[in-house]
Chains A and B, each alone.
Chain A
Amino acid sequence: DGGITQSPKYLFRKEGQNVTLSCEQNLNHDAMYWYRQDPGQGLRLIYYSQIVNDFQKGDIAEGYSVSREKKESFPLTVTSAQKNPTAFYLCASSMERFQGADTQYFGPGTRLTVL
């Protein structure tokens, strides 16, 4: 089955640690995205990538980093510089470079909790 997988489902981090969230898709999509979801805040864009080896900051990129070395993978690292990382993180992809009308397909999410 084609789709987007995110791992782990739950992640616990101690303050001061970096953690990496995995996102893999086998849909052969060019574009991938990371969103952060907080209760009552909707989804906010962290980073997006329209093509391999290229990515752009979204609205709340501070304290996060990404890489896009392979078309199917777009890992997100939450660094110690992110002051409030506890949230639900969603990865998404779309078929082509996003042109406004493309559907974004979402993974099941990773819930990160800072202890």
Chain B
Amino acid sequence: AQSVTQPDIHITVSEGASLELRCNYSYGATPYLFWYVQSPGQGLQLLLKYFSGDTLVQGIKGFEAEFKRSQSSFNLRKPSVHWSDAAEYFCAVSNQAGTALIFGKGTTLSVSS
């Protein structure tokens, strides 16, 4: 069965520092992968997605993610974090039937000044 693991529950990064959020997936075929961001008490917003082609995907708000099949990973990166990036980040993979998304448990990002 498909699954998504986000190993880090909570990460704190200094403003201006680089960020990497980890995501590992379990999937039998080529996966469709997503990163979403959620501000407190709000819905989710799509940052980026991968389904084919270039393994380095650019998203909104300066985020990017790299698909590495050999490592079953889809890590999210940002070169310089802003205080407004503090939020919860979810990695997701589409299920095998292609009918819905399977989400990781999320990583909470705090930004220190």
Contacts and interface: CB of A to CB of B under 8 A. Distances in A.
The answer to whether A and B come from one shared complex is: yes
Interface of A: 4, 33, 35, 40-45, 48, 50, 56, 58, 90, 92, 98-101, 103-109, 111
Nearest to B43: A106
A109 B100 contact: no
Interface stretch (B14-22, B70-78, B79-87, B103-111): B103-111
Given A45-B100, A100-B51, A101-B51, 9 more contacts: A35-B103, A40-B106, A44-B103, A98-B100, A101-B49, A103-B34, A104-B101, A106-B44, A109-B42
Nearest to B44: A106
Of B34, B45, B51, B103, most A-chain CB atoms within 10 Å: B103
Contacts of A100: 32, 51, 94, 98
Contacts of A101: 32, 49, 51, 94
A90 B43 contact: yes
A40 B43 contact: no
A15 B40 CA distance: 27
B1 to A, nearest CB: 10
Given A90-B44, A107-B43, A98 B105 contact: no
Contacts of A40: 9, 105-106
Contacts of A4: 43
Contacts of B44: 43, 90, 92, 106
